A and B are shown apart, each in its own frame.
Chain A
Amino acid sequence: MAGSQSALREANRAMVVETIRRYGGLTQVELAAATGLSAATVSNIVRELQGAGAVDVRTTIRSGRRAQLVTMARGTGLAVGVHIGVRQMSLTLADSAHEVLIEQSLPLPHEHRADTSLDRAALMVVDLLERVGSSLGELLGIGIGLPAPVDVATGTISVPGILRGWDDVPVAQVMSKRLGVPVFVDNDANLGALAESRLGASRPFQDSVYVRVAHGTGAGIVLAGQLHRGFAGTAGEIGHVQVDAAGDVCMCGSRGCLNTVTGGPALIETLRASRGPLTMADIIGLARRGDPGCRQVVGDAGALIGTVVAGLAIAVNPQCVVVGGELAETGETLLAPMREVIRRRVPLNHIAPLEVLKAELGTRAESLGAVLLVLESTDLLTHWFDDQTGS
C-alpha cells in the first residue's frame, strides 16, 4: 500500500487541504508554490475537492491577472474563538477558510469569575451560531484564550494567582461539557502569535516573537512555524521578568515584575494625580489624540518592555518581533521606543536586522488565534471524509 499511486494521491490531497486551511484562501498558482506540487497536480486535486464540495473556487485578481482563488467550502465546519481578557471578552465565529462570519465583544467586570464568564461565553456561542443560521452540529470546536499561562493538556491555568477567580478551573472541561464540542485552551499571547504567524505580520517568517501589551504583558514564541509553549505553558511569560528588585510584589508572588511597572493598574496610577481616574481605553484614546502625559507613560512602558523583549530575542533569535494587544493601538507611541531599545540591545546578527512590527490583525489577533487553534487541532479531512462515507 505504502508508496502506491493512491496513497501518494491521498497524501497530496491532504497537503493541499492543509495549506488552504492554513492560509484561508490561495490561488492555484500560490497553492502550487506553497505545496511544491506541480500546477497540473494542484489543478487536478482542486477539481476533485471541488467536485466533492470540500472547496470553493472563484475568480479573483492577483497582481493584475485573473486567477482562481481556492477556499474551504463553508459547511466543512465552523470554529469559535473566545478571547477572555481582564475587562473584555471577544468572540469570533469563522469557517474553516478563516472567513470571519460574525464577531461580538462583551465588557467584563473587574475580577470577573470563571463560572459567570464561561456561562455567558457558552450562551453567546449558541446565540452567534443562530445568527449565522448554523447550529452546534456544524461547530468543530471552541478555542479559548486566557491572560495567564495555560497547561494545554488539561486546559487549566498552570500558575496560580495570576488570574484571580480562575485558578483550578478546568476551563476546557467545563465548556465542552456544556456545549458538547471539543474545547482547546491556550494562553492569549500564544494565540496572538499563532494568528500573526499564519495570517498577519510574521507570515513571511519561520521564527517570530509576538508581544502582547495590554493590562499585562506576555509573549508568544513561534519557532520553525510551530508554537513553543514550554513544559508547563509558561514560555514567553515576560510580564513576570524582574525589572525592579525593590519593586512591588506581583500577583504571581515574585517581586518587581515587568507587569507591576508597565501593567494597566500601574499606568492608571501613574496618571491619576494629573489626569484623574482613567481606564486603559482612556489612556489609549488620549495618547492617540496627542495628550503629552499619556504619550509619555505609554512610551516609557514601551522602552522598558523593549529591554525585556531584547533579552528574549537574544535567547530565541527570532526574525521579527510583532507587537499587539490594546496598547499597540497607540502605534509608534509604544513601538518607536520599544524598537529603539530592542535594536540597540540585540546587535548580534548582521545578516538582517531584527524587525519590530505592529500586529496586522490588531485586537482581533487573539480570538482569531483561538479559531486557528481549533482548526489546526481538528483533522478536517477525516471529518469531511467521514461525512462523505456516512451519507
Chain B
Amino acid sequence: MTAGTTQRRPLLSMRQITKRFGAVEALVGVDLDVHAGEVVAMVGDNGAGKSTLAKVIAGVLQPEAGLIELGGEEVTVPTPAAAHALGISIVFQDLALCENLSVADNIFLGRERRVMRGGPMDRDGMELAARSILRDLTVNIPSVRTPVRELSAGQRQAVAIARTLTSEPRLLVLDEPTAALSVVQTAEVLTLVQRLRDLGLGVIIIGHNLADLRAVSDRIEVLRHGRNNGSFESATAHPEEIIAAIAGAGRVPEPRWSTAP
C-alpha cells in the first residue's frame, strides 16, 4: 500500500464468533467486517447461520466466544435494548407492524414523543418527523396518516425501515427484505437500500436472491455450515463463484481482512 492510504476502520468488526445450540454448531469462528456507507450481503444455504449471526449482532442471542467491536471499541450486546443503545437496528422478516395503526404511529410505536414528560402524545411532531424520514428515504407513501393495512408489501418494508431510523442508528440489519415482493416493490426496496448506503449507514442485508444482492451490495459474505466460506467484491465477482461457495464446491478465497496488514 502506498503512502497517503486512508486506513478505513470498520464500523462493525466481529472476530471468531462461535454459537452452539446443544450439539448444533450454528456459528464456528465467524469473522465479519462492515464499514460505514457499505452494504454487505450475507448469503448461504438454509441453516448456514445467517439469521443466527444477525441475532447475535442484534443482541437477541449471546455468542459463546468471539469479539465484537463497534467503531473500534470492544462491546458486548447482551440485549436488544443494548444493541439499540449502541446504534444497531434490525428489521426482521415479519416486519412486526400494527395493521390498524397509521404509518406515523407505527414509526414511533413504543417510542412515542410526548408534548411534555408524562403528557399527551405529540401527534403533530411525530407526523412531521415521520414525513421527514420518509422524504429522506425518498419513499413514495401518499400520507403518514394512512393505516398500514392499506399499504403494499414494499411500502410496509419501507415503513419498517423508517421505524429503525428514528433512533439514528449506525448499523442496520435487514433480514430477507425482498422475500415475497413483486418486481416493482423489490425495485423500490433495493433503491431504498442504496439510499441508506448514501446516508452513510453500514447495512447488512440477508437474502436468497443473488441477482438482487449482487445489485445493491458492495461485498458478499458466504456462510456455510456456520463458517465463513468466501468473501466477494460485488462489482467484479461472477455469480458462479458465489454459488460454488454457497454449495461448498471449489476453491474458497481467503476473506479480504486476513491478508490485510
Q: Which residues of A contact B (CB under 8 A)?
A: 87, 104-112, 116, 120, 123-124, 127-128, 131, 268, 273-277, 279, 281, 285
Q: Are A110 and B237 in contact (CB under 8 A)?
A: yes
CB closest residue in chain B, given A131: B184
Taking A109-B239, A120-B183, A124-B183 as known contacts, 20 extra A-B pairs with beta carbons closer than 8 A to each other, sorted by chain A number, are A104-B184, A105-B191, A106-B186, A106-B191, A106-B215, A107-B187, A108-B211, A108-B215, A110-B236, A112-B215, A123-B182, A123-B183, A123-B184, A124-B184, A127-B184, A273-B5, A274-B6, A275-B6, A276-B8, A281-B198
Q: Are B218 and A106 in contact (CB under 8 A)?
A: no
Q: Are A107 and B216 in contact (CB under 8 A)?
A: yes
A273 contact from B2, B8, B188, B194, Cβ within 8 A: B2
Number of A-B residue pairs with CB-CB distance less than 8 Å in the complex they form: 68
Q: Are A109 and B183 in contact (CB under 8 A)?
A: no
The 5 closest A-B pairs by CB, nearest first: A109-B214, A106-B187, A107-B215, A127-B184, A123-B183
Q: Are A274 and B5 in contact (CB under 8 A)?
A: yes
Q: Which residues of B contact A281 (CB under 8 A)?
A: 194, 198
CB closest residue in chain B, given A285: B198
List 6 contacting pairs A-B, 8 Å CB cutoff, sorted by A: A107-B215, A123-B183, A127-B184, A276-B6, A277-B233, A279-B218
B166 to chain A, nearest CB (A): 25
Q: Answer whether residue B22 sits at the interface, using C-beta atoms and an 8 A cutoff.
A: no
Q: Which residues of A contact B211 (CB under 8 A)?
A: 108-109, 112, 116
Q: Answer whether residue B111 sits at the interface, using C-beta atoms and an 8 A cutoff.
A: no
The docked-state distance in angstroms from the alpha carbon of A232 to that of B209 is 37
Q: Are A273 and B183 in contact (CB under 8 A)?
A: no
CB closest residue in chain B, given A280: B235
The docked-state distance in angstroms from the alpha carbon of A107 to that of B218 is 13
Also in contact, A107 and B237, with CB within 8 A (given A128-B184, A279-B218): no
Residue among A106, A108, A273, A279 facing the most chain B CB atoms (10 A cut-off):
A106
Residue among A120, A281, A285 facing the most chain B CB atoms (10 A cut-off):
A120
The docked-state distance in angstroms from the alpha carbon of A279 to that of B37 is 11
Q: Answer whether residue B228 sits at the interface, using C-beta atoms and an 8 A cutoff.
A: no
Q: Which residues of A contact B198 (CB under 8 A)?
A: 281, 285
A88 to chain B, nearest CB (A): 8
Q: Answer whether residue B4 sits at the interface, using C-beta atoms and an 8 A cutoff.
A: yes
Q: Are A277 and B184 in contact (CB under 8 A)?
A: no
CB closest residue in chain B, given A264: B235
Chain B residues numbered 1-33 whose CB sits less than 8 Å from any CB in chain A: 1-2, 4-6, 8
Q: Which residues of A contact B106 (CB under 8 A)?
A: none
A179 to chain B, nearest CB (A): 14
The docked-state distance in angstroms from the alpha carbon of A124 to that of B198 is 25
A266 to chain B, nearest CB (A): 13
Q: Are B186 and A279 in contact (CB under 8 A)?
A: no
The docked-state distance in angstroms from the alpha carbon of A127 to that of B186 is 12
A18 to chain B, nearest CB (A): 33
A318 to chain B, nearest CB (A): 35
Q: Are A109 and B215 in contact (CB under 8 A)?
A: yes
Q: Which residues of B contact A128 (CB under 8 A)?
A: 184
CB closest residue in chain A, given B185: A127
CB closest residue in chain B, given A87: B215
What sequence of 0s and 1s flags, for each residue 179-208 of chain B, a beta carbon within 8 Å of any chain A beta carbon?
000111011101100100010000000000
B240 to chain A, nearest CB (A): 11
Q: Which residues of A contact B4 (CB under 8 A)?
A: 274
Q: Are B235 and A110 in contact (CB under 8 A)?
A: yes
What sequence of 0s and 1s flags, for each residue 223-240 of chain B, a beta carbon within 8 Å of any chain A beta carbon?
000000000011111110
A54 to chain B, nearest CB (A): 31
Also in contact, A273 and B1, with CB within 8 A (given A107-B215, A110-B214, A110-B237): yes
What sequence of 0s and 1s flags, for each residue 131-154 of chain B, a beta carbon within 8 Å of any chain A beta carbon?
000000000000000000000000
Q: Which residues of B contact A109 (CB under 8 A)?
A: 210-212, 214-215, 234, 239
The docked-state distance in angstroms from the alpha carbon of A274 to that of B5 is 5
The docked-state distance in angstroms from the alpha carbon of A109 to that of B4 is 31
Q: Which residues of B contact A111 (CB under 8 A)?
A: 238
Q: Are B6 and A127 in contact (CB under 8 A)?
A: no
Q: Which residues of A contact B239 (CB under 8 A)?
A: 109
Q: Which residues of A contact B236 (CB under 8 A)?
A: 110
CB closest residue in chain A, given B234: A110
Q: Which residues of A contact B191 (CB under 8 A)?
A: 105-107
Also in contact, A127 and B182, with CB within 8 A (given A110-B237, A274-B6): yes
The docked-state distance in angstroms from the alpha carbon of A131 to that of B218 is 32
The docked-state distance in angstroms from the alpha carbon of A108 to that of B187 is 10
A216 to chain B, nearest CB (A): 15
CB closest residue in chain A, given B1: A273
Q: Which residues of A contact B238 (CB under 8 A)?
A: 111
B174 to chain A, nearest CB (A): 15
CB closest residue in chain B, given A90: B187
Q: Are B218 and A277 in contact (CB under 8 A)?
A: yes
The docked-state distance in angstroms from the alpha carbon of A108 to that of B236 is 13
The docked-state distance in angstroms from the alpha carbon of A298 to that of B192 is 27
The docked-state distance in angstroms from the alpha carbon of A83 to that of B5 is 37
CB closest residue in chain B, given A122: B183
B92 to chain A, nearest CB (A): 23
